[in-house]
Amino acid sequence: MVPLLLRPATKNYFWGGSRLKSDFSIESDDAILAEAWMLSCHPDGNSTIMNGPLKGMALADALLAESENVLGQNNATLPNFPILIKLIDTASDLSIQVHPDDVYATDKEGVFGKTEMWYVLDAREDAYLYCGFSREISKEEMQKRIEENTILEVLNRVSVEAGDVLFIEAGTIHSIGAGILLAEIQQNSNTTYRVYDYDRTDPAGNKRDLHIQEALEVTHKTRVTDPVKRPAMVQMEGYSIAILAACPHFTVDLISVDEQAALFCGGESFASLIFIEGEGSIVFRNNAFGKTGVMQVSKGDSLFLPAGTGAYEIQGKCKVLRTVR
């Protein structure tokens, strides 16, 4: 399999904005664009291949059709594709929510749990997130506060700006506030337990479903301290790199290319490349991709590199989120 350029699945949730279209050239017929699923094999929204002999196929279908292990040795025994990567634009607040871990999700939902991380691409001056509790609480207090609509009073409200990183372990209550543009790298799950939704209604006057009992079971009720990180960039020849997150589910690097970055995709894992700034080209050194082996890339592009792609160089001036497992 050659490296794949992907078209994201898109979601027009009511809280979304327009910056994914204006800033990242994500195509959508909807006026509101809340999420672009840049790398997805999830049944709720598949990425589509835009190049090569598999052009037009859903990524999930293409991976199933491959006899070789394009996902890599680390992922050979997994029942499903392990990662989902989104760009998210919030014009208004998301609901207060929580995701289950693998044990609970496998038992109750038959799917992966959802640990995730956020990399803030941009945020208005007063932007904030909720991440965990500001103090330890009991299950009884959590339930009472949900019933009385006072859960916000005990949540950890965090101001954010571009470049901030937050790691959201499964079981951490959280929400993204209005005016934030971010990349979300997560386990391949769409299981969300909604706790509080500001008493909002849809155009028909209906409130969205809440999932109180499930949330009470899976939520970590301990205090979360200092959730925002800003990993240091390490200078390399022609580029700099920072590890944004490393856990059993994914490893995410920020690569800032000044001239060129010589990189490698081995047999252990596939790699996802999401271009978040600038433009350039990728030169692949694997002869199987032809003598030229060059792809032009720009902000908003998403590439899937199959395991064993080998040596490649990103040339130009750009920033890239690289994810492997």
Would residue 223 show up in a list of annotated catalytic residues for this protein?
no
**Residue 200 pLDDT greater than 70, yes or no:** yes
Range of the domain at 130: 4-229
How far is residue 56's CA from residue 246's CA, in Å, rounded to a whole number? 33
**Residues written for the chain:** 325
| pLDDT tens by residue, 263-291 | 999 999 999 999 999 999 999 988 777 66
Please check whether residues 92 and 178 belong to one and the same domain: yes
Residue 100 buriedness (CB in 10 A; 0-12 / 13-18 / 19+)? buried
Is residue 239 located within the same domain as residue 216? no
Rounded CA separation 136/1 (Å): 49
Per-residue CA distances from 132 to 148, 153, 157 (Å): 19, 12, 8
HEC letters along the chain: CCCEEEECEEECCCCEECHHHHHHCCCCCCCCECEEEEECEECCEECEECCCCCCCCEHHHHHHHCCCCCCCHHHCCCCCCCEEEEEEEECCCCCEEECCCHHHHHHHCCCCCCCEEEEEEEECCCCEEEEEECCCCCHHHHHHHHHHCCHHHHEEEEECCCCCEEEECCCCCEEECCCEEEEEEEECCCCCEEEECCCCECCCCCECCCCHHHHHHHCCCCECCCCEECCCCEEECCEEEEEEEECCCCEEEEEEECCEEEEEECCCCCEEEEEEEEEEEEEECCHHHCCCCEEEEECCCEEEECCCCEEEEEEEEEEEEEEEC
Tell me, yes or no, whether 211 and 287 share the same domain. no
Average pLDDT of the residues of the chain = 95
129/117 Cα distance (integer angstroms): 13
Average pLDDT over residues 181-208: 92
Tell me, yes or no, whether 46 and 162 share the same domain.
yes
Least confident stretch, 61-70, 137-146, 246-255: 61-70
Based on the fold, state whether residues 10 and 158 are members of the same structural domain. Answer: yes
| 219 and 265 inside one domain | no
Residues 225 and 258 in one domain: no
For residue 310, give both structure tokens. Answer: 């080998």
Six token digits for residue 214? 């499930």
Among residues 210, 229, 248, the one where a domain terminates is 229
Contact status, residue 164 vs residue 227, Cβ threshold 8 Å:
no
The residue assigned the tokens 């937050």 is 166
Is the per-residue pLDDT at 202 higher than 80?
Answer: no
Do 103 and 203 lie in a common domain?
yes
Confidence at residue 287, expressed as pLDDT on a 0 to 100 scale = 76
pLDDT at 227: 96
Gap between the Cα atoms of 87 and 190, Å rounded: 15
**pLDDT confidence of residue 292:** 67
Domain end: 229, 244, 262, which one? Answer: 229
Are 67 and 141 part of one and the same domain?
yes
Give the active site residue among 7, 145, 194, 325.
Answer: 194
3-state secondary structure 221-246: CCECCCCEECCCCEEECCEEEEEEEE
Same domain for 240 and 200: no
Same domain, 79 and 177: yes
What digits encode the pLDDT tens for the residues 42-82?
A: 999 999 999 999 999 999 999 988 767 899 999 999 989 99
CATH of the domain at 143: 2.60.120.10
In the chain, what percentage of residues exceed pLDDT 90?
Answer: 91
CA nearest 168: which of 253, 80, 272, 249? 249
Residues 24 and 36: beta-carbon distance below 8 Å: yes
Residues 193-220 have a mean pLDDT of: 92
